[in-house]
Structure 1
Amino acid sequence: MTGSEESPSFRLAYVPGVTPAKWARIWNERLPDIPLTLVQVPAGEAPDVLRAGEADAGLVRLPVDRTFFSAIPLYTETTVVVVPKDHLITAADEVTLADLEDEVLFHPLDDVFDWDSPPGEPAFERPATTPDAIELVAANVGLLIVPQSLARLYHRKDLTYRPVTDAPESSVALSWPEEATTDLVEDFIGIVRGRTVNSSRGRTRPDAQADDKRKQSGSRQKPTAAKSAQSSGARSGGAKPTSRAARGRSGTGGAKPAKRGKPRRRS
C-alpha cells in the first residue's frame, strides 16, 4: 500500500495501448475514499517502475520475470502491419509474414515483440520509438508491425493497417511484485477479474460486510405473509378458521356431511 496509513492510495502503471479507464471507473465506485493514480510508462520501463515501488501494480506486456513478479494474463491482441492507405497490401483483408518479406520493416528500439528473426528487409537504422517509426511509415519509407492497440493509439488519416495472421502476438497482464501483494492489490485483482464487491473469492469491504449482516438480520425477523395474517387475525378477534362441519357442508373434497343432532323439546 502506498501513502500513509491515514491516507492510503493506489498507483497503477500502464503501458501504451492499454486502456485502464473501465477498471479505474469501477475502482472509484467501490473505493471512493482511496485515490487511484494512473501512471503511463513505456513498455520497456514498466518492470523497473514496479521494482522501484513507483507503482503498486501495472498493466504490462508479457513476458515478465516470474521469479519476482506475479502476473494475471488479461487478453491477447491481434498483430497488424501499419501501411500507407495507398499501399498494395490494403487490397487484402489480412496478410502473412511471407507477404511482407520484400518490404522494409521497422523494428524500433521499444518494439514489444521479441523477434527470433525479424521479418522483412531491415531498415537503414532502427527508430528510437514506435511513434518515430509511425512517422517513417507515413513518409513511405517502410512498414511497421505492432499490436492493434498501438496502431489505433498512433492512428493517422494517411495510414491504415491489416492483420498479420502468423506474426507473434502480444499479451497484456496485470502484474505486481509478488512480495508486495497488499489488500489494495487484491481489490484491483477482483476488479479486473470481474468479481462483485461481495464475491467470496475477493476481499469484502467492511461496509459491505455490515450491510450483509443487516440484511440477514432483517430476513430472520420478517415473518411470512401467511403467518403474519394468521397472527393478526388471532390478535384482532377476526374470522376464525372454518369448522370441520362447515367444511363438510361445502361439499368440497368429497367430505361426508356432519350428523345432525335431535331437536330439543319445547317446554
Structure 2
Amino acid sequence: MAKSGGSRGRSGRPAGSARPARRNRAAVPQRTAKAKTPKAVTPAPPPPPAAARFVLGAIPGATLGGWVDAWRERMPRTELQLHPLDFATQRTALLEQGLDAAVVRLPIDTDGLSVIPLYDETAVVVTSAESHLTAADELEMGDLAGEILIVPRDDVLGPVVPGAASATFAPPEDTEQAIATVAAGVGIIIVPMSLARLHRRKDAAYRPLRDGPTSTVALVWPTERTTPEVEAFIGIVRGRTPNSSRG
C-alpha cells in the first residue's frame, strides 16, 4: 500500500520541483582593490629672502654714532653693517669688498666716485703726560721746534714741522704704537683729534695745534651704484628729516 504524500526524488526535494541554479562564480564580478589616492605633497616653503643690508666702510676715528642711530630708526628692515677701513687702502676696499659707501679721509682718488665732505678735524699734538708742552692749552708749530717728530706708517696728515728733528729709529707700524712711544717720553706725534681720542692713554696727553694741518672726513660711494639705500644715508648725514624733500 502506497504511503500518502507526494513522491520525492533522491535528493529529498519534491518531484517536479526545479533545482535551484548553481551560482556561477565566474559570472560574479570580483571586487577589485580600490586604487589608493596619492597623498598630496606639501611643497617646501620658499627660502626666506636675503636680509637687506647696507655695508658702510669707516676709517678709524670716524664719528658715526648719531648717523647709525638715525639709520636704525628710519630703516629698521635694512641692517647697517660697519666695515673698518685703513687710510692707505680705503679706495680699494670700497670698490672691491662689496661696500655700498664709505666714510673716508681725504684725499682720495675720486675717479668714478661721488664725494660729500662731512667735517674737518683739528690736528693735535700727542706727547707724554709729563711733557713741558702740556703746560699750554693750545700749541703752535713754533712751539714744536727741537722736538722729535714721529711719523707712523699709517700717518694721515703728512705734517711738516719747521725746526723739529726726525726720528732716528724706524717708523712705528701704526698710530697706536706711535702714541705708546711718545707716552714713554720719546718725541711727539701729530694726528687728527679723533685718533688721539681713539688711542687715549693715561700716560699720554694731547693739545690742539692751532696752525696744524686739518683732516677732512667725507662720505664717498661709486657713482654708478647710487642706490636708494645710499640716498637714504645721504639724507641722514645731511640732516634731512624723514619727511623732508631731497635737497
Higher-helix-fraction structure? 1
Q: Return the match for 1:69 from 109, 113, 120.
A: 113
State how far apart, in whole Å, the 2-side matches of 1:143 and 1:58 are: 30
Identity level (%): 48
What is the DSSP-based 3-state SS (H/G/I as helix, E as strand, rest coil) of the residue aligned with 2:235?
helix
State how far apart, in whole Å, the 2-side matches of 1:200 and 1:5 are: 30
Contact 2:87/2:104 (8 A) holds in 1: yes
Q: Return the match for 1:167 from 192, 202, 212.
A: 212
What does residue range 167-246 of structure 1 map to in structure 2 within 5 Å? 167-201=212-246
Q: Deviations over 1:217-261 (max 9, x none)?
A: xxxxxxxxxxxxxxxxxxxxxxxxxxxxxxxxxxxxxxxxxxxxx
| Structure 1: gaps (5+ residues) | 203-267
Displacement of 1:118 in angstroms is 5.4
Query: Where does residue 70 of structure 2 map in the other structure?
Result: 26
Aligned length: 198
What does residue range 67-106 of structure 1 map to in structure 2 within 5 Å? 67-106=111-150
Change (3 A) 1:5 1:65: farther
State how far apart, in whole Å, the 1-side matches of 2:140 and 2:98 are: 40
What is the DSSP-based 3-state SS (H/G/I as helix, E as strand, rest coil) of the residue aligned with 1:141?
coil
Contact 2:131/2:185 (8 A) holds in 1: no
Q: Tell me, yes or no, if structure 1 residue 43 matches structure 2 residue 87.
A: yes
Bigger Rg, which one: 2
State how far apart, in whole Å, the 1-side matches of 2:161 and 2:115 are: 27
What is the DSSP-based 3-state SS (H/G/I as helix, E as strand, rest coil) of the residue aligned with 1:27?
helix
State how far apart, in whole Å, the 1-side matches of 2:161 and 2:225 are: 37
Q: Name the amino acid aligned to 2:99.
A: A
Query: Where does residue 140 of structure 1 map in the other structure?
Result: 185
Q: Return the match for 1:111 from 149, 155, 162.
A: 155
State how far apart, in whole Å, the 2-side matches of 1:173 and 1:141 are: 33
State how far apart, in whole Å, the 2-side matches of 1:36 and 1:142 are: 40
Change (3 A) 1:169 1:12: same
State how far apart, in whole Å, the 1-side matches of 2:141 and 2:95 are: 36
Change (3 A) 1:114 1:105: closer
Q: Return the match for 2:197 from 152, 158, 164.
A: 152
Q: Deviations over 1:105-144 (max 9, x none)?
A: 11111101134x4552111221110011011011111111
TM (normalized to structure 1)? Answer: 0.70
Q: Return the match for 2:56 from 7, 12, 36.
A: 12
Q: Name the amino acid aligned to 1:51.
A: L
State how far apart, in whole Å, the 2-side matches of 1:152 and 1:102 are: 25
State how far apart, in whole Å, the 2-side matches of 1:123 and 1:60 are: 28
Q: Deviations over 1:121-174 (max 9, x none)?
A: 111221110011011011111111001111111000111111111111001111
Q: Name the amino acid aligned to 1:68.
A: G
The Cα RMSD (Å) is 1.7
- Provide runs of 4+ in structure 1 moved above 6 Å: none
Contact 2:128/2:182 (8 A) holds in 1: yes
Contact 2:88/2:154 (8 A) holds in 1: yes
Contact 2:122/2:213 (8 A) holds in 1: no
Displacement of 1:44 in angstroms is 1.8
